[in-house]
Amino acid sequence: MGSNDVLQSMALNALENVKGASIIGLGSGSTATVFVRALAKHIQENKLDVKVIPTSLQIKFEAEALGFKIADDTLVPLTDVVFDGADQIDAKFNMIKGGGGALLREKVIIHAAKRTVILADESKYVNVLNRAVPVEVHPYARTYVFERLRKWGAKPKVRSLDKGYPFVTENGNIILDTDFGEISDVISMEREVKNIAGVMEVGLFTKHAAKYYKAKKNGSVEVLTP
């Protein structure tokens, strides 16, 4: 079974969490895109009255093209369930997110929603988080935050586009992809990085989801609950 087929299977399995929801939050990235397409078909076939709140223009464009009703962001506190992917998930269900740059909005809607559902292939599941963490920083504070992180022994790097221009988030900020090595105390790391003046958000997510779907290479889908 191809990787896309496995993601499709996972998305179809996750649709069981749509029941009873009227406002659905949509995360960003390639896995979220697969889910959004499955969700559109599910809503049409079952004639559901559902509105969605996207976390990025990427997903908003996708949702508009599929005919979704887009809810205003003032309804974020009323979100019933949010579906999102992850860049890495540790044994305690902490996550690194923000590979696509939408970490701030994703964290807001995950904290606001009544339930969160995470979809990721098995390669994203690890014992300890160890990949670079996106840190969203106000441009005015970029050199200060860079030096603060470096003095901690971390290795920050300004995220750039293919031609060398700095990546700018939809909130007008830059991202420092920061290598902290293995992160054993994720809760403390999240708090300490976010406390640096000028840091708008950090891609460490410690609020647990209700369910985690793991797509395996053999085509099966495992459902994990904290």
Residue range 115-119: mean pLDDT, rounded:
98
Residue 191 has pLDDT above 70, yes or no: yes
Which residues are the active-site residues?
Answer: 106
What local confidence, expressed as pLDDT, does residue 218 receive? 87
- What are the sequence ranges of the domains in the chain? 3-126+206-224, 133-204
Amino acid 62: pLDDT: 95
Strands (E), 113-173: 115-121, 133-137, 155-158
Q: Looking at residues 62-91, what average pLDDT do you find?
A: 97
Is 76 in contact with 108 (CB distance < 8 Å)?
A: yes
Strand, coil or helix: 32: helix
CATH code of 3-126+206-224, in short, is 3.40.50.1360
Q: Domain 133-204: which topology? A: Alpha-Beta Plaits (3.30.70)
> Is 1 a residue whose pLDDT tops 90?
no
Q: What does 198-214 look like in DSSP terms, one character per residue? A: TEEEESEE-SPPSEEEE
The stretches of the chain forming alpha helices (DSSP H) are 3-14, 30-46, 57-65, 103-112, 142-151, 186-194
Query: Mean pLDDT over residues 31-44, rounded?
Result: 94
The per-residue pLDDT for 2 is 53
Q: How confident is the model at residue 23 (pLDDT cuts 50, 70, 90)?
A: very high
Partners of 84 in the β-ladder: 118
* Cα–Cα distance for residue pair 17/79, rounded to 1 Å: 13
What is the mean predicted confidence (pLDDT) over 131-148? 98
Of the two residues 5 and 11, the one the predictor is more confident about is: 11
What pLDDT, on a 0 to 100 scale, did the predictor assign at position 4? Answer: 76
The pLDDT value given to residue 6: 86
pLDDT higher than threshold 90 for residue 94: yes
Q: Is 100's pLDDT higher than 70? A: yes
